[in-house]
Structure 1
């Protein structure tokens, strides 16, 4: 039995009110996964920028942001 088949079997045994909660939870998991992928892509882009442009010192950053 596949995982999807197991899930369908489990869902067939619970009331609709619980299925609504399961659907909400599934949507939350999917959204979190999308956010994680976006964060990873942003991190890769930042690393690529560091490789091409380098970094600045803490002192330079403080001056740049006015701290």
Structure 2
């Protein structure tokens, strides 16, 4: 699928530098950056879900302990 990516000068310089460091084309560098960002977001969402579950369980345990005293 074709897509046009419009960048300002600073963004283009950053993408050019990223591609140079990776030894890849700017298109490949952009693709890798998108995949890496998506992976982090998904991982962060999974960690957040686990944390919400754990915190809810921990709060329940703590409440029961306080009531038992």
Question: Structure 1-normalised TM-score?
Answer: 0.56
Any gaps of 5 or more consecutive residues in structure 1? 1-7, 56-67
Distance in 2 between residues matched to 1:32 and 1:17, nearest whole Å: 22
Residues matched between the structures, number: 46
Structure showing greater relative contact order (alpha-carbon pairs closer than 8 Å, 6 or more residues apart): 2
Could you say what the CA RMSD is over the residues aligned between the two structures, in angstroms? 2.2
Q: Deviations over 1:17-55 (max 9, x none)?
A: 201111001000110111111111111001110222228
Question: Structure 2-normalised TM-score?
Answer: 0.55
Any gaps of 5 or more consecutive residues in structure 2? 6-26
Distance in 1 between residues matched to 2:36 and 2:4, nearest whole Å: 18
